Every structure is written in C-alpha cells, then in structure tokens.
C-alpha cells in the first residue's frame, strides 16, 4: 500500500451562501483520500463509522480504488458535523458537533495497512496520531495536520507528535497560535526547528507556501470561477500534495514543490461544488491543466 | 524626466511594538520616490509642504537624485499623520490626521515635470489624480493608488480616473470594497473590465499578485527577519514596481512580472526600519540579492 490516510469519516450538514447539503459525505480522511486517489494508486483509509454509514458511500470510495479495509464499524452513530459559512466563507461556523463513534476512535491498523510508504495523519487528537505513527512502521514520508482546538488544549502531546513527522500542514492562524511568532516567516522557522523537515502553510485564497531547510516556495490559489463550498479544501490540498509524492515515489525538494501545485489544484476542484462531488468527477487531464495554469502564474 | 510621483509629503508620528518616531519623513510620494530612486534615474516628486518642512529633508531627497522642483511650498503646516500599530501590525490605527497645506493640494506641474514617461499617482483625492493625469501629457505608463476612504466617499470620481490609467495598485480589502466581488480572482477580473490593463493586488504578508489580460502572476512577500515598521510599505512597493519599469523603459508582460519582484524587494527593505531609514541605505546589490531570493521562492 502506497498511501495511508487516517482521520475522520463523517456526514456533514451545512449551508453556504450558494446552497446546502444534509448528511453529505465528508470528514478529513475522505476528502484527503479522494483527492489522493485522483493522482495515485494504492490509497487506503483508516477511520471509524457508525451503523448509520451507508454501504453505498463506502462502495463509492472503494470504486475509486481506495482500500476501505481500515474503516472500522462501531456501534453508534457516525461523526456528524453541522455548520454554516457566511460572507467570504473564510471561516466555517460550527453549529453542532456529534462525535458519535469518533469519540473513541483509536485505530488498530490491519496488517495490510501497517506499512504504508506514505502516511497522512489528518486532524485528530495528537495522541491518536502518535499511536498510528507507532503502528505504521517507517513510512518514507509522514504528513500531519492539526487544528486550533488541539493547539490550545493538547499542546505538549501535539509538539511531541510533530517532532516525529516529516511534514506539518497547517494554516496561517494555526501556526501563529502554535509558535507565537509575529511573522509567518519567523513562525515557519520555528516549526522547522521543532523537527519536521517540511512545513506547508495554507493561506486560503492567498495560496500556500512550502518551507524546508532549502528555502521556501509559494503557490497562489488557483482562481476558480465560483467557490461554492470550502469544506474539505485543506484536506483535498493535503491529499493532492501527498498523493503526488506517493505517485512519483520521491520527496526531494523539486518533487515537494511540484506537489504544492497538485495540492493547490485538488483544493481548487474541491471548492467548486459541495461535499466530494467535484473531486469525484476530476480526471488527470483537468488536474494537469490546472497545474500548468499554476506554473504560468509563477513563471516570469 | 523618467518618472513622476505625485502624492503626499508628510511628517509622521507613530509607534509600533518595536519603537516609535516623531515627525519622521513620510508621505506616500516620499516613500514611493525613494524606493524608485534606488532603481532608476530621473525620478521627480510633486507635492506640497508647509513652512515647517525641513530644508534638510528636501536636500536629502535631492541628494538621492530626486527632482523636488514639483514640491510646492505653501503657507501653513505640512501634512502630519499620527498613529500606532499593534499586534501583527497588519492595520495602522490613525490617532490624528492634520492635513495642513495638503487639504488644498492641487498641483500645477512645472513644465519640466509635465511630460513624464512614467507616472505614479499615489493615494490622494481622485479629482486631484484626474487633474494631474490631464496635465501629464501621454506617459507610457500610469499607475494609480487609492484607499478605502475614497472608495467609500468618491466612488464615481474614482471609477472615472481608474478608467484613464494603465495600472491600479490596491490591497485585498480595498478591491473587495471597490468591486463587491466575493473572490479576489473575480474582483481582479472586474477591475480589468473597468479599464486598466494592469492590476496589482497587495496582500500584505501573503505577497502580491499581478493581473493582466494575459493572466496572473503571484509573488510571495520577501521573508525579512523582523518587521519593525510597515508604514509606507505599499508605497515602496509601488515605487519599486514603477521604478523598475522606468529603468528598463518597457511594460511588456515579462517586465511587469519582473517589476513585481522589485516592488516586493523594496517593500521588504521598507519594513526593516522606521520611516525611510532602510530604503535610504539600500543599494543595487542588496536589491538584486532579494530579487534572486524571490525568484527562488517561485521556481520549481
């Protein structure tokens, strides 16, 4: 197995200024795995669902070539998030979080998933991320996501798991909260001093930047005609990023920079429709077209 | 004369978390002209000062090769701005604005300045910008800056002058206010439909982007060790941008993109010390070094 994605598998109910969904496929692991599946074979998901999770939705993932043998079934309800977006949709407003079976999520990786070459630890409790990291052998590249809630409430555990991964993916508010640094450049240096060799800073509509000991690299957001739904954009970015690395089986500076373009492209598809709709319909030629477009936006 | 900069010449009193200045050289035209003067010969300023403006400060500008014959002397006091910055210094807080002689600023260009090849209309009343535009003959490139205040209070006059210039330079909040568009990409298209062939979007620490009918180009902010004072950064950007164009005497897409790097470099020097201190000390090799650094940040 090339790439293991660990995180939430959820049903989302929310509205944006452009529409709404009820009980739609969501969760960080689903968004990331789907984005990665457009770029590479051998993607697997580890997560947990309740009795209410529709078999058809698991089949849909499997149909994309995603190994869902790591999705545990537990008694109870699937993680459900209810929220809304207003104005420029930069920030989701959470109306209700029903953790359900996700509250006790503590994955035991099936043997077939225990030695991934690439590992994405989506946003979950840092102790759970650490547990997966211990089970996952020696991936050639591990990427970790987190959020403000864990930075505030679980900082020591979070810092510990951050020390053990190759890459951290985080947004501009979160990195300020994590490091206390005044500028993003200073914050990036602080993260690289913590342990990871790779930092990806998500800046929403301002794009994203990659920071390594070799320097930094900045990619603009891909200019889509209409942002309908930003839910999962960050996870699609992460999935596209690590999906590209898994596809080319390399993590050198050049490939990391390329992967930023693929992450950006996958995030741009994500936001063009609700839930996973647009990413599901995305094929390689459309992705390559956006990657070329992004290259043109950073070429003198 | 290659480049005429028209706008405020001021004395600024403010503090940032890292220090303070009192009656320091400032004003959009001063910041922009100084930045441009590091890149090209033949820079001139048109503005107005009061009886309190120090001759030594004019001499300092002249000493940089800046033609100050367009700086009118009027009875009264020089424009004075008092403000402060807190937190991440993204936004200045104005404590006091004393327009002084600037309130009646309505420049009559001396003959020697009336046919500039490049013209930067810094942030002033749109009607004054329009008046200068009428006096300035046919520059090969005119760039216009503005601010939220004029967008709110003088929108028809502003839209009229925007129609008559080649380029608009504006920040992300201002372009939303001006166009009402939801995304920056959509806002950029709206501005290009208004008349200008060139739009420069300043995004603070997220960098800046160039938008033309040929596409867009994004440059990161140059990562300085410490931001001491952001005052004038946008004007230094504009001065660096148009200063490079004036230096190479061209405005094709390639040169516009290059100019974005020079604008970014000059803004990065600007923020490293208070008032005009750092820009004054900046020589060509240091600028080229930052331009190379920026290129590395957008090269795969």
pLDDT along chain A (300 residues), means of 10: 97 97 98 98 98 98 97 98 91 94 95 96 97 96 97 97 98 95 90 97 94 96 93 98 98 98 98 97 97 97
Question: Could you give the angle at which helices A253-270 and A233-248 cross, rounded to 10 degrees?
Answer: 140
User: CA–CA distance from A163 to each of A121, A159, A189, B168 (Å)?
Assistant: 14, 6, 14, 45
Number of cross-chain residue pairs from A and B with Cβ atoms under 8 Å apart: 88
Percentage above 90 pLDDT, chain B: 95
The interface predicted TM-score of the complex, written ipTM, equals 0.86
The residue length of chain B stands at 300
pLDDT in the model for residue B266? 98
On average, the pLDDT of chain B sits at 96
Percentage above 70 pLDDT, chain B: 100
By Cβ distance, the residue of A176, A257, A300 closest to B257 is A300
Say whether A217 and B257 touch across the interface (CB within 8 A).
Answer: no
By Cβ distance, the residue of A188, A215, A258 closest to B300 is A258
Chain A residue whose CA is closest to B227: A183
Task: Give the H or E element holding residue A212.
Answer: strand A208-212
Strand B43-49 and strand B215-219: pairing? unpaired
By Cβ distance, the residue of B17, B206, B215 closest to A206 is B206
The shortest C-alpha distance from B68 to chain A (Å) reads 34
Strand B215-219 and strand A198-202: pairing? unpaired
pLDDT in the model for residue A87? 83
Closest CA to B45 of B132, B162, B127: B132
Residues B237-267, buried b or exposed e (16+ Cβ, 10 A)? bbbbbbbbbbbbeebeeebbbbbbbbbbbbb
Q: Which residues of chain A are at the B interface, by a Cβ-Cβ cutoff of 8 Å?
A: 88, 176, 182-186, 188, 203, 205-207, 209, 215-221, 223-227, 254, 257-258, 261, 295-300
pLDDT in the model for residue B182? 81
Provide, as residue numbers in chain B, all residues whose Cβ is less than 8 Å from the Cβ of A173. Answer: none
The shortest C-alpha distance from A167 to chain B (Å) reads 19
> Would you say residue A76 lies in a domain?
yes
Chain B residue whose CA is closest to A17: B182
pLDDT tens readout for residues B136-170 = 999 999 999 999 999 999 999 999 999 999 999 99
> Would you say residue A31 lies in a domain?
yes
Task: Tell me the C-alpha distance between A231 and A243, whole Å.
Answer: 19
Given pLDDT bands bounded at 50, 70 and 90, which one contains residue B88? confident
Domain span at A243: 3-153+227-296
The total number of structural domains that make up chain B: 1
> Would you say residue A268 lies in a domain?
yes
| B182 vs A146, higher pLDDT | A146
Residue A141 forms beta bridges with which residues? Answer: A118
> Would you say residue A16 lies in a domain?
yes
pLDDT tens readout for residues B214-237 = 999 999 999 998 899 999 999 999
Q: Is the pLDDT of residue B93 over 90?
A: yes
CATH code, A144: 3.40.1190.20
> Would you say residue A162 lies in a domain?
no
Q: Is the pLDDT of residue B121 over 90?
A: yes
By Cβ distance, the residue of A220, A224, A254 closest to B218 is A220
> Would you say residue A182 lies in a domain?
no
pLDDT in the model for residue A139? 97
Given pLDDT bands bounded at 50, 70 and 90, which one contains residue B183? confident
Q: Is the pLDDT of residue B90 over 90?
A: no
């Amino acid at each position: 197995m090339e790439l293991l994605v660990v995180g939430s598998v959820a049903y989302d109910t929310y509205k944006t200024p452009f529409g709404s969904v009820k009980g739609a496929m969501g969760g960080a692991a689903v968004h990331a795995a789907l984005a990665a599946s457009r770029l590479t074979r051998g993607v697997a998901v580890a997560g947990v669902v309740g009795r209410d999770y529709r078999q058809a939705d698991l089949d849909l993932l499997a149909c994309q070539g995603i190994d869902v043998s790591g999705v545990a079934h537990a008694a109870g309800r699937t993680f459900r998030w209810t929220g809304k977006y207003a104005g420029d949709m930069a920030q989701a407003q959470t109306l209700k979080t029903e953790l359900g079976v996700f509250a006790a999520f503590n994955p035991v990786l099936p043997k077939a998933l225990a030695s991934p070459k690439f590992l994405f630890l989506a946003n979950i409790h840092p102790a759970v991320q650490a547990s997966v990291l211990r089970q996952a052998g020696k991936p050639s590249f591990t990427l970790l996501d987190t959020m403000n809630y864990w930075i505030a409430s679980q900082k020591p555990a979070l810092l510990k798991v951050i020390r053990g991964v190759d890459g951290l993916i985080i947004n501009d508010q979160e990195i300020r909260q994590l490091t206390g640094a005044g500028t993003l450049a200073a914050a990036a240096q602080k993260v690289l001093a913590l342990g990871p060799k790779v930092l990806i800073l998500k800046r929403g509509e301002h794009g994203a930047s990659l920071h390594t000991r070799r320097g930094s690299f900045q990619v603009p957001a891909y200019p889509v005609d209409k942002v309908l739904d930003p839910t999962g954009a960050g996870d699609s970015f992460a999935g596209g990023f690590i999906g590209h690395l898994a596809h080319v089986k390399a993590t050198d500076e050049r490939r990391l920079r390329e992967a930023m373009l693929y992450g950006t492209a996958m995030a741009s598809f994500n936001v063009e429709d609700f839930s996973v709709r647009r990413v599901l319909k995305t094929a390689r030629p459309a992705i390559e077209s956006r990657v070329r477009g992004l290259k043109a936006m950073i070429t003198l």
